[in-house]
């Protein structure tokens, strides 16, 4: 972000819209911590990040229109269709990461997996969730992991409940 600002100021830009830059840096950092994925969204567009931003915007917009609290009505509006499309994109991305990590984890035993992660210092949130077990020793389901990832990515906003597939 600093390099980007330095470049923009060297071109003569005296004013910067900092909110957008900081938001992208935050989302880039969250995606790295959550998925171990470099989105590089500060430099080039990311469909995933665009979908996250659109979902946040749509949730806020919906909250100001009382009659759209009814899902049936909302999903028949243009915004409701955009919301579903963005949700699908976010869920498909997260599902693909979970599938890939489960495959990697199943091809190694837990100790080998942890050793490789310790060497590269890249144990991210998805890895922690894949290794987690409940009080009965049962692993989290892919849907549980996706829900946790969505909550993490959206900063615990109440909108996460609306991100479940319908």
In the chain, the number of structural domains is 1
5: in domain? no
Establish if 157 belongs to a structural domain: yes
Domain that includes residue 122, residue range: 46-163
Q: What is d(CA 147, CA 26) in angstroms, rounded to the nearest whole number?
A: 20
The model's pTM is 0.76
pLDDT attached to residue 166: 34
Q: 117 pLDDT exceeds 50?
A: yes
Per-residue pLDDT tens over the stretch 37-94: 777 777 788 888 888 888 988 999 999 998 888 999 999 999 999 999 999 999 999 9
Establish if 63 belongs to a structural domain. Answer: yes
**Range 11-17 contact pairs with CB under 8 angstroms and sequence separation of 24 or more:** none
Average pLDDT of every residue of the chain: 81
| Residue 79 domain-assigned (yes or no) | yes
> What is the pLDDT at residue 159?
32
Domain presence at residue 38: no
Per the domain annotation, does 128 fall within a domain?
A: yes
Bigger pLDDT: 33 vs 19: 33
Question: Is residue 21 in some structural domain?
Answer: no
């Amino acid at each position: 972000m600093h390099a980007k600002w330095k470049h923009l100021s060297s071109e003569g830009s005296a004013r910067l819209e900092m909110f957008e830059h900081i938001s992208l840096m935050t989302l880039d950092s969250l995606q790295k911590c959550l998925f171990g994925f470099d989105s590089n969204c500060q430099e080039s567009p990311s469909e995933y990040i665009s979908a996250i931003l659109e979902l946040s915007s749509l949730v806020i917009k919906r909250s100001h229109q009382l009659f759209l609290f009814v899902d049936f009505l909302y999903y028949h509006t243009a915004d409701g269709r955009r919301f579903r499309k963005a949700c699908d994109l976010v869920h498909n991305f997260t599902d693909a990461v979970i599938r890939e990590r489960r495959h990697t984890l199943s091809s190694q035993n837990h100790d080998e997996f942890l050793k490789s992660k310790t060497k590269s210092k890249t144990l991210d949130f998805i890895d922690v969730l894949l290794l987690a077990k409940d009080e009965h020793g049962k692993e989290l389901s892919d849907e549980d992991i996706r829900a946790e990832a969505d909550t993490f990515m959206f900063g615990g906003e109440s909108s996460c409940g609306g991100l479940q597939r319908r």
